[in-house]
Amino acid sequence: MFTSTAQPFQIEVPNTSNALKRYVAYRSDMASIPYPEPNNRDNLAGVLEYGSEDKVLARVMVRFKGTREDTGTPKIQMLYRQKFTDSSPLELWGADKKNDKSSLSGFSIVLSYNRNNRIVIPVLNDSLQISRAGTNPSFTISMEPGLQK
C-alpha cells in the first residue's frame, strides 16, 4: 500500500481500536520506482502519504518552486505538545481512550530535509491541513485531488 524511501511513521491513540492507527510515508523523487504522476514530474521533490492500515487517506505532492535539487529523503518527525519526536509510534496520550477520528488532532507532520529546510503540516480531525502548512520557500505543496474529504 505505502511505498516509502523513509522509515514510515506510525501514529496511534492509546487504548482505542486499530482503526485509529495512522501511518505517514514519503517517497523521494530519487526512488528507484518513480511515482506515477500524470503531470509534469520535473519539479516533483517527493510524495507524502497519510493513511490507515487499509488505505491511503491523503497524498501530498511536494514540489520545488525553482530549480530542482537533490534533497534526498527527509526525516519524518512529529510535532506534538510543542515537542519534536522522531521515535515511532507517536502516542496521542491527550486523546487516551477517545475512540473517534477527532482524537487524531493536535499534532503536525514534519518533513526535515535539513536543519533549516522543513515542511510542517498540521493534522485536525484526521485531516491534513494543507492550507495551514508551513513550508520553506524552496517548496510548494498540494493535495492530490480525490483522496481526502
Q: What local confidence, expressed as pLDDT, does residue 121 receive?
A: 96
Contact predicate 26/75, CB 8 Å: no
Cis peptide before 89 (omega within 30 of 0): yes
Q: How far is residue 54's CA from residue 64's CA, in Å, rounded to a whole number? A: 30
CA distance 92 to 87: 13
Q: What per-residue confidence (pLDDT) applies to 17?
A: 75
Q: 7 falls in which pLDDT band (50, 70, 90)?
A: confident
> What are the pLDDT digits (tens) for 50-87?
999 888 999 999 988 877 676 778 889 999 999 999 88
43 within domain boundaries: yes
| Residue 60 covered by a domain | yes
Residue 30 lies in a domain: yes
Q: How many domains would you assign to the chain?
A: 1
Question: How confident is the model over 22-38, as pLDDT tens digits?
Answer: 999 988 876 556 555 55
* 22 located within any domain: yes
Is residue 32, in this structure, part of any structural domain at all?
yes
Question: pTM of the predicted model, to two decimals?
Answer: 0.86
- Domain range for 81: 9-143
